Amino acid sequence: MTGEEVFTETIARDQRVEPRDWMPDGYRKTMIRQIAQHAHSEIIGMQPEGEWITRAPSLRRKAILLAKVQDEAGHGLYLYSAAETLGADRGDLTRRLIEGRQKYSSIFNYPTLSFADVGVIGWLVDGAAICNQVPLCRSSYGPYARAMIRICKEESFHQRQGYELLLTMMGGTQAQRDMVQDAVNRWWWPSLMMFGPPDDRSPNSAQSMAWKIKRHSNDELRRRFVDMTVPQAEALGVTLPDPELRWNAERGSYDFGTPDWAELSRVISGDGPCNAQRIERRRRADEDGAWVREAAAAHAKKQMGIPA
């Protein structure tokens, strides 16, 4: 059998493609694109919540937030390693991010204005991430699917800590409840946009689904997220800012309004509220860390007996 035949059969049988297997160039490119974008999202995603570590209201909240942000760094590292199995170079991927040639999730271009945002990011953003990523545990590329299993376990903890924080705040003062509602109002629509453009405007979906990289379309996952989240909002006592949101008994699912797709396009193309700040911070961190990478590489060379 040719490499191409083996690949086609691997996909048809729902088995995993592994790094040394033959794969079409387009498959390799798509995997690098998606994994790199995902890795960048985890690393840039440390910024909005990281800003609250020094301002957490208690030692307990600070310890939880520190652990969560460190987990995100870990997710970024598993994912960059998965991209390396496809022949990508981590430094090159970072450069592409900083130069605006690779994307990261639109969601991290919105500001975190109060500590309630930390809870809402855990509940809605990690909730949306789980919805999107659980099916990716069955993605056809082995290293990505395996990384996703561990990431999803940690995301579940992230989601619960967010929800628990919000439950605590909702049981507090009116000012705390107002902070939560304000944060929900600001993060709801951007969370729905995390799933990507609508299916009829998603250029990559058909091929990614044929290759079983993606298992569900953007709209399917978005709908699943809304169905999962509305009862949680009710239990919490917050209102979701969508006048069109209502139960559709016939479909057994919620109807909901249309996100502002022009806003998503603007944010993806670099013109969101915090894009410039996020990238500038990432660029500085990369420059500040250059000497550490150089020292580590020199040490590794020495250990292996390679002349400097």
Report in angstroms how near the CB of residue 268 gets to ligand BYC at its nearest: 4
Name the residue among 241, 224, 127, 221 with its Cα closest to residue 181: 241
Report in angstroms how near the CB of residue 111 gets to ligand BYC at its nearest: 14
Residue with smaller CB distance to ligand BYC, 193 or 236: 193
- Residues binding ligand BYC (CB under 6 A): 33-34, 37-38, 41-42, 45, 72, 103, 105-106, 121, 125-126, 129, 132, 193-197, 202-205, 208, 214, 218, 268
Whole-number Å distance between alpha carbons of 91 and 43: 14
Report in angstroms how near the CB of residue 304 gets to ligand BYC at its nearest: 34
Report in angstroms how near the CB of residue 218 gets to ligand BYC at its nearest: 5
Residue with smaller CB distance to ligand BYC, 139 or 181: 139
Residue with smaller CB distance to ligand BYC, 69 or 177: 69
Report in angstroms how near the CB of residue 302 gets to ligand BYC at its nearest: 36
Residue with smaller CB distance to ligand BYC, 144 or 256: 144
| Maximum pairwise Cα distance, the chain | 71
Contacts of range 235-242, beta carbons closer than 8 Å, 24 or more positions apart: 236/163, 236/166, 236/167, 236/170, 236/180, 237/170, 237/177, 238/166, 238/170, 238/180, 238/181, 238/184, 239/181, 239/184, 240/184, 240/188, 241/184, 241/185, 241/188, 241/189, 242/188
Contacts of 245 (CB under 8 A, 6+ apart): 226, 230, 254, 255, 256, 257
Report in angstroms how near the CB of residue 166 gets to ligand BYC at its nearest: 15
Whole-number Å distance between alpha carbons of 144 and 135: 12
Kindly state the helix (H) or strand (E) to which residue 248 belongs, with its residue range: strand 246-248
Residue with smaller CB distance to ligand BYC, 132 or 181: 132
Angle formed at CA 18 by CA 17 and CA 23, multiple of 5 degrees: 60
Contacts of 282 (CB under 8 A, 6+ apart): 43, 44, 47, 94, 97, 98
Report in angstroms how near the CB of residue 213 gets to ligand BYC at its nearest: 8
Q: Name the 3-class secondary structure at 177.
A: helix
Q: Residue 254 pairs with which residues in a beta bridge?
A: 247
Residue with smaller CB distance to ligand BYC, 148 or 240: 148
Report in angstroms how near the CB of residue 26 gets to ligand BYC at its nearest: 12
Residue with smaller CB distance to ligand BYC, 97 or 121: 121
Residue with smaller CB distance to ligand BYC, 6 or 90: 90
**Which residue, judged by CB position, is nearest to ligand BYC in the bound state?**
45
Q: Which amino acid is at 274?
A: C
Contacts of 88 (CB under 8 A, 6+ apart): 32, 35, 36
